[in-house]
Amino acid sequence: MDIKTECINEENEEIPEKKLNDSETQPCMVKKRSDYLHWDEYFMAVAFLSAQRSKDPNSQVGACIVNEEKKIVGIGYNGMPNGCSDDTLPWARKADDDLDTKYPYVCHAEMNAILNKNSSDVKGCTIYVALFPCNECAKLIIQSGIKKIVYLSDKYHHQPNMKASRILLDMAKIKYVKFEPERKTILVDFMSIEQSTPSISKTKTFKDELV
């Protein structure tokens, strides 16, 4: 087989034979990257990146909803409702009065991801989220038609609202799977575009965000 018919450039044009013989440029010998992100890593990383938009000083949680075609159809993070000042409402986790804590006011990442959907619905979709959904988010997930949850941490497993969440999800036959990352860190390096061979650097772990 003529090698010239095998080697093409990015414009789908044949590479001249003299260039093929150049020892410094062997395009046919270049193989695809092996350290690319797998789908679960990618979608969980999107959830973690969206969490960086959260104003919560204690817990930054993001969620990413993906359809059966591996397309993102919704992203969200925990924050105050639209039109409600996150400078005025409290962010405390504990206070003498519950109204002085964040809990009566804040919208969870799962809720915002569902409400932010860019499709007609999210039926049959998978939601990626750092923390196992609470009972209130479980209700929304069930009602929206999402069929699978991929979560990273279940550190509140024994709390009553989490037990209620699992009861609801099991009854509704919603599958939930713990994400076990092969790599512990993923860095978004804006300067890598200037490099000839950008690589995935490692500085912050997934679990650094689960506080």
Residues 165-179 have pLDDT tens digits of 999 999 999 999 999
CATH code of the domain in which 110 resides? 3.40.140.10
- At 190, the amino acid letter reads F
Q: Is residue 131 part of a domain?
A: yes
Residue 211: pLDDT band (50, 70, 90) is very low
Domain count, the chain: 1
Which residue has better confidence, 153 or 16? 153
Question: Taking Cα atoms as reference points, which of 206, 36, 208, 33 lies closest to residue 128?
Answer: 206
Can you list the pairs that 207-211 forms with residues at least 24 positions away whose Cβ atoms lie under 8 Å? 207/152, 207/153, 209/48, 209/51, 209/60, 209/61, 209/130, 210/130, 210/131, 210/152, 210/153, 210/155, 211/58, 211/59
Q: By the 8 A CB rule, do 106 and 84 touch?
A: no
DSSP lists the bridge partners of residue 150 as: 128, 177
Q: Is residue 202 part of a domain?
A: no
Q: How far is 196 from 193, CA to CA, in rounded Å?
A: 8
pLDDT tops 60 at residue 202:
no
Q: Which structure tokens are listed for 38? A: 């797998």
| Domain around 51 | 39-178
**Distance from chain centroid for Cα 202:** 17
Q: Is residue 207 part of a domain?
A: no
Summarised one tens digit per residue, pLDDT across range 186-195 is 888 888 888 7
Q: How far is 59 from 205, CA to CA, in rounded Å?
A: 15
Q: Is residue 115 part of a domain?
A: yes
Q: Annotated catalytic residue: which of 110, 136, 180, 209? A: 110
11 is an active site residue: no
Mean pLDDT for all residues in the chain: 87
66, exposed or middle or buried, with CB in 10 Å at 0-12, 13-18, 19+? buried
Summarised one tens digit per residue, pLDDT across range 45-103 is 999 999 999 999 999 999 999 999 999 999 999 999 999 999 999 999 999 999 999 99
Q: Is residue 206 part of a domain?
A: no
Q: What is the pLDDT of residue 183?
A: 86
- Residue 141 CB: number of other CB atoms within 10 A? 30
Least confident of 78-87, 109-118, 127-136, 176-185: 176-185
Q: What is the pLDDT of residue 33?
A: 84
